[in-house]
Amino acid sequence: MSVCRWLAVISSAVLLLTLPAWGTGRRTRPLPPHEYGTVVLSPDDPTASPVPFRHWEHRSRHTCRLCHVDIGFAMQAGQTEITCEQIKSGLWCGACHNGRVAFGIVSGAGSTCERCHSPFPVGRDRNIRAEFEKLSARLPAGRFGNGVDWAAASRKGLLKPLDFLEGVSFDRPRLENRQGDVSLDARLNGLPDILFSHREHAVWNSCDLCHPDLFVLKSGQTRFTMRDLFAGRFCGFCHGSVAFPLKDCGRCHSKPVRQGGS
Ligand code: HEC
Ligand code: HEC
Ligand code: HEC
Ligand code: HEC
Ligand code: HEC
Ligand code: HEC
């Protein structure tokens, strides 16, 4: 190995060590695995307690696309205007929480209010934690985030998230992917490049979650750096809030380092 190459390796090692300091992204306090990806919806009405929405519970059954395209939830916490009346008439959460797909809004005896308006602070509900542990025990382990390797779980057929909801989804071809992998240049000598797999992403996402808002449809045309990702843009839009977080460097920077150079 030449001196230049060693220098490159050392300098990228230094970068890797100092990079986490950039982590000024959306999350400051790390959430426990069973609350990673939880969005707390806070009603304006002070008599109603907050509603934790847990992604793990929902993504294990339904695709991202179904909620974020067909139903139309914003992909940014606190951006969707939801009321309980709307839910009762079948909108938003009510597309499923109608007593058929999932529990509905019931008052009086057998009230379901507290199943959504949780009396517990986020992270303190032991039943939810137990439910999470039951699910995660049968799925392959991941290192960060939910501690679940969601991609491997779907490859192994352990999860088959539904992509269609009667009366809500519009008719369209099944989610599939004919795009291949895209290799993204890490633009730093010695640092493994990034392999972006359309196949892995098409399991839950649809093309319109990423194109054209996050990435233009031509490889190499969207310019971004790790700093952008930590700020929640581009890949960091999902990786850091719902999909595995950015500190799992090696899952993205996975292509063997090119030989030669210098
Ligand atoms: C399926 C989940 C769910 C159930 C069950 C539920 N709520 Fe809600 N509720 C919500 C959500 C979501 C909001 C809106 C939060 C926000 O502002 O973002 C909300 C808002 C509210 C509000 C604020 C005013 C409004 O309508 O936006 C009140 C009051 C309320 N709920 C009362 C109740 C009562 C009483 C029950 C039981 C009869 C109940 N909720 C059951 C999810 C639920
Ligand atoms: C059952 C419906 C549902 C499913 C399935 C779902 N989401 Fe969400 N998602 C929501 C709701 C509701 C919110 C909160 C929206 C709001 O607060 O306005 C949200 C918020 C988000 C946010 C913003 C989080 C933040 O902290 O700002 C991201 C990113 C996101 N979802 C990505 C995903 C991805 C990726 C998937 C698939 C792996 C997915 N969602 C699956 C309903 C869903
Ligand atoms: C695409 C369908 C779908 C949508 C949309 C949806 N849910 Fe659910 N939700 C489910 C299913 C299925 C379950 C599990 C079955 C059950 O408990 O009835 C569930 C379970 C839950 C639970 C109990 C477990 C937990 O995670 O605490 C809560 C609370 C909940 N949902 C809240 C919400 C809220 C709030 C919204 C809207 C912001 C929402 N859901 C939107 C399908 C959905
Ligand atoms: C999770 C985000 C994401 C999803 C979902 C996604 N793409 Fe992409 N796509 C990308 C990224 C990232 C690139 C590379 C962009 C770059 O290099 O600037 C890309 C590149 C492309 C390209 C250009 C490829 C080339 O070699 O020039 C096409 C065409 C494309 N995508 C089509 C699709 C189609 C069709 C779907 C739906 C099946 C889809 N994409 C879903 C993120 C996504
Ligand atoms: C979700 C995927 C993903 C994860 C996780 C990830 N990276 Fe990156 N990284 C990228 C992409 C994409 C680029 C930019 C490629 C380009 O320039 O087009 C990049 C670029 C870089 C660069 C080049 C300089 C720059 O800022 O663009 C460095 C250094 C880097 N990453 C280090 C890291 C370290 C250290 C970690 C773990 C803390 C990490 N990355 C985690 C996807 C990721
Ligand atoms: C729209 C949301 C979204 C965006 C944007 C996105 N991803 Fe992902 N990505 C996911 C989801 C969901 C998974 C499934 C695994 C998980 O949730 O942890 C995933 C999985 C992956 C995997 C793991 C595949 C495997 O086989 O283990 C890699 C690597 C990855 N993404 C890289 C990237 C890179 C690089 C970018 C930006 C160019 C990007 N992602 C942008 C949602 C997204």
Ligand 5 centre and the CA of 119: distance in Å? 40
Q: Tell me the Ramachandran region of residue 110: left when phi exceeds 0, alpha when psi lies from -120 to 50, beta otherwise.
A: left
Residue of the nearest CA to atom 36 in ligand 3?
93
pLDDT digits (tens, 9 = 90+) for 105-117: 999 999 999 999 9
Separation between Cα atoms, residue 132 and residue 34, nearest integer Å: 6
* 112 close to ligand 1 (CB < 6 Angstrom): yes
pLDDT-based confidence at residue 31 (cuts at 50, 70, 90)? confident
Residue 172 CA to residue 208 CA, distance in Å, equals 13
Give the pLDDT score at 177: 64
Taking CA atoms only, the protein residue closest to ligand 1 atom 38 is 107
Binding site membership of 146 for ligand 2 (Cβ less than 6 Å): no
CA pair distance 202, 208, nearest whole angstrom: 11
Longest dimension (CA), the chain: 76
Any atom of ligand 2 within 6 Å of the Cβ of 80:
yes
Q: Higher-confidence residue: 208 or 176?
A: 208
pLDDT in tens, 143-172: 999 999 999 999 999 999 999 998 888 776
Gap between the Cα atoms of 142 and 148, Å rounded = 4
Confidence of residue 21 (pLDDT cuts 50, 70, 90): very low
Distance CA 30, CA 36 (A): 8
Distance from residue 4's CA to the centre of ligand 3 (Å): 55
Residue 29 has what pLDDT?
62
Interatomic CA distance for residues 71 and 209, integer angstroms: 13
Give the Å distance between the CA of 236 and the centre of ligand 3: 25
Structure tokens at 136: 């995660």
Q: Which two tokens stand for residue 213?
A: 């808002």
Ligand 3 test: best mutation among 51, 79, 96, 114, most atoms within 8 Å of CB? 96
Residue where the block lists tokens 């000598």: 189
**Share above pLDDT 90 across residues of the chain, in percent, rounded to a whole number:** 65
How far apart, in whole angstroms, are the C-alpha atoms of residue 132 and residue 148? 11
User: Which protein residue has the closest C-alpha to ligand 6 atom 38?
Assistant: 235
Q: What is the pLDDT of residue 161?
A: 93
| Alpha carbon of residue 98 to chain centroid | 25
Contact 20, 247 (CB under 8 A): yes
Task: Give residue for tokens 């990228």.
Answer: 12
Q: Which residues contact 49 (CB under 8 A, 6 or more apart)?
A: 117, 118, 119
Ligand 4 probe mutation, 176, 211, 234, most atoms within 8 A of CB: 211
Query: Given a cut of 60, is residue 206 above it in pLDDT?
Result: yes
